[in-house]
Amino acid sequence: MQLQTSEINPDYRPPRNFKKIYIIFLLVIVFFLGMQFGKTDIQSPQDVIKVFTESGRESAPTGVDWFLLWDTIETINQKFVDRPADLQQILYGAVSGAVAALADPYSVFLPPKEAEDFKQELKGNFDGIGAEIAIKNQQLVVVTPLEDSPALKARLRSGDFIVKIDGTDSQGLTLEEAVGKIRGSAGTQVTLTIFRKGESKTRDVIITRAKIEVRSLSFELTEVNGKKIGILKLRRFGEETQGQMESAINEFLLKGIDGVILDERNNPGGYLETAVQVASNWLNKDQIVVIQKFGDGTEEKFAAKGNNRLKGMPTIVLINGGSASASEIVAGGLKDHGVAKLVGEKSFGKGSVQELIDLRGQAQVKLTIAKWLTPAGHDLNKEGLEPEEKVELSDEDFNSDRDPQLDRAFELLTK
């Protein structure tokens, strides 16, 4: 499984003003633990409690009644039936709760094991069912099943609501809790209770987990009505994506293509830098690809890098409800500059950037620090992208291996 909107979608850049952000985060979440928490002379639970309750109070930020937290921890330590309580888990729970209180489904605290799992997912290799999930409108939903994954073979679709996981109600679970329940060793099974829009009842789907290896890009050349069309199937935006794009473009230009279809359907996103590189294949150098707007109102603009060998090439971008994040950046940038037409269904609407920040003890926090706007100022996070040519893919189409969206793209490029 991918983590966050994300099993694979990191959507973060190297930290901007790392020290500043790190200090702010510590003040809000960690500082109340006391500046002595990490010292080696703190050995016992009683010592840790002392830091929580005494020295920490001296330096806590004002304006908030931190005694509520400290008194709760003291009460647990004094009266909990199964004393001594696991103070490390209490710490993780406190920090996780603080981040969850932001009410942002993409900001999460990652204890050491989850942080290590996330690192492996960024490499595109993990065990799971091969689907990205998210919490949207307080409901656990499938963003996209990955290609050739157990999730796709089990006929999961973007937009499916996950009502239960192995019989456990998903309502109230954090995203990391849900991912933890769905993820598992290759060969084991998980039962998801799914509700799909347009249907009257839920269904149970049994999925056998497998080792997931996510291929970034595949391409093919086809001839339709006497015209050569290059198809780029972009599954994610990884470190290797642009190199693979260059190889595909070399092949296309060598064969003399007449048009390009960039298929971003069910692409959950990836690295911002890669999205800019991909869009640069169509745009002039210094044309804006995306605007990143921070909480303090400042903006950072990301411009095309040049090497636009597909400039002027008739292009269709296919999107659907599983197109998220970096996919929306590319689609929105190309659309706003008038170099491509969008075909398919409305995109997912995840236009935010997360920064992965290292904390003490090998933990990390994945924190939303900005939102993305298209060059024309369209807020991707709130609205997603509406295609100029809306073409739905029905369950009947899906089950019969028909693809009216791709067919419409061929029509537009060959008419």
Name the catalytic one among 181, 293, 335, 350: 350
- Beta carbons within 8 Å of 89's beta carbon, 6+ residues apart: none
Active site residue 350: yes
Name the catalytic one among 325, 327, 347, 352: 325
Bridge partners of 352, per DSSP, are 371
Active site residue 336: yes
Cα–Cα distance list, 92 to 168, 284, 295, 359 (Å): 23, 47, 26, 12
Backbone angles phi, psi at 47, to 5 degrees: -65, -40
Cα–Cα distance list, 104 to 5, 126, 209, 287, 350 (Å): 12, 25, 28, 31, 11
Active site residue 59: no
Q: Which of 351, 242, 332 lies closest to 287, judged by CA?
A: 332
Cα–Cα distance list, 193 to 128, 149, 204, 396 (Å): 17, 18, 4, 21
The answer to whether residues 196 and 161 touch, using CB atoms and an 8 Å cutoff, is yes
Which tokens go with 392? 């739905």
Which tokens go with 123? 């490499």
Name the catalytic one among 127, 263, 336, 366: 336
Bridge partners of 169, per DSSP, are 164
Q: How far apart are the first and last CA of the chain?
A: 41
Cα–Cα distance, 308 to 387 (Å, whole number): 24
- Beta carbons within 8 Å of 412's beta carbon, 6+ residues apart: 316, 341, 343, 389
Cα–Cα distance, 410 to 224 (Å, whole number): 7
CA 123 to chain centre: 14
Beta strands in 226-385 (DSSP E): 227-234, 259-263, 288-294, 299-303, 315-319, 341-344, 352-358, 364-373
Residues carrying an active site annotation: 325, 336, 350
